[in-house]
Amino acid sequence: MKSLFPKLLDSLTLEKIDDCKFRAGNLYIGSPRIYGGQVLAQSVAAAHQTVELGRFELNSLHGYFLSPGNNDLDVIYEVEEIKDGRSFATRRVLAKQNDRVIFLGALSFHIQEKGLEHMAVMPNVAKPESLTSFSDIFAQFAEKFNIKARGFYSSESPIVFHPVEHYDPFNPGIRPARTHVWFKVNGNYEGDALMDQVLLAYVSDFSLLISSLLPHNVSFFNTPMIIASLDHAMWFHRKSNFNDWHLYAVESPNAGNARAFCQGKIFNREGKLVASVTQEGLIRQIS
């Protein structure tokens, strides 16, 4: 199967309608609604086009997923210039379909400055080359249960994922609310620092809520559930080469009231902390 990565890059290259309005298509990855990471990434791409590049770099985003997105409709991104200061620039982004807001985001850009520096230590886990990809793992389940692996769990996934911990989605068992997964692009990539941030935003919505299910012996493959991202925050700490492997270390310190809170850290292969993520999501069991 051919990789969907070229189509992903196409979906992340927005059509300019005017100086602050952009249009984007969707990449279908098997989910009934638009994958939240796509909306995050396209919001980053839209906001990038309204700041002085070379001077400002994205340092954080905060967003709310307000309504499910329709895979069959283009998404319109409207960017509002909130502030252009000496050190920081701030943008608000609305993602719309048929004039209905599906996502609201605030993004902060910062000039390059020297300062004090420290970072978290990357967990000591198995290297990606020694691990089996999600697509190979799910190929076994697909054959056993006569189902078709789609999206991130198929060989055509635009991103390759190598989970550190063994995961049986049909018999998950009870485990700590913690996951580690290596990832990299599935194809040739000659991007730049801007697209690296867009792609990091794209991947950042993956794997978070899965960690919250692990202590409960449930998954969306064996239990009727509604699982959806509610809000999402992300901080970009350092530049990194997105062609190489990155480790996404995720934990869920709390779940209750049908919501789960999750935290993630993204490290490059050299162990540098590239980005940090927090998210709250809906994990509603259907009785």
pLDDT above 80 (res 151): no
Interval 204-231 mean pLDDT = 90
Identified catalytic residue from 42, 157, 252, 279: 279
CA distances from 56 to 49, 96, 105, 239, 273 (A): 11, 26, 18, 13, 20
pLDDT above 70 (res 194): yes
pTM: 0.95
How far apart, in whole angstroms, are the C-alpha atoms of residue 70 and residue 163?
A: 29
Please state the domain extents for the chain.
Answer: 5-113+125-285
Interval 206-218 mean pLDDT = 92
User: Is 279 in the active site?
Assistant: yes
Identified catalytic residue from 133, 229, 240, 276: 229
Q: Nearest Cα to 39, choosing from 6, 5, 3, 68?
A: 68
Identified catalytic residue from 38, 205, 207, 219: 205
pLDDT above 90 (res 53): no
Question: Is residue 193 very low, low, confident or very high in pLDDT (cuts 50, 70, 90)?
Answer: confident
Q: Which long-range contacts (CB under 8 A, 24 or more apart) does 3-7 make?
A: 3/156, 3/157, 3/158, 3/186, 3/187, 4/29, 4/156, 4/157, 4/158, 4/186, 5/158, 5/159, 5/185, 5/186, 5/187, 5/189, 6/187, 7/158
User: Is 276 in the active site?
Assistant: no
User: Is 205 in the active site?
Assistant: yes
Question: Is residue 142 very low, low, confident or very high in pLDDT (cuts 50, 70, 90)?
Answer: low
Question: Is residue 222 very low, low, confident or very high in pLDDT (cuts 50, 70, 90)?
Answer: confident
How far apart, in whole angstroms, are the C-alpha atoms of residue 214 and residue 178?
A: 8
pLDDT at 253: 98
Does residue 278 contact residue 262 with C-beta atoms inside 8 Å? yes
| Annotation: CATH topology of 5-113+125-285 | Porin (2.40.160)
C-alpha torsion angle, residues 66, 5, 79, 73 (rounded to 10): -60
pLDDT at 282: 96
Higher pLDDT, 284 or 169: 284
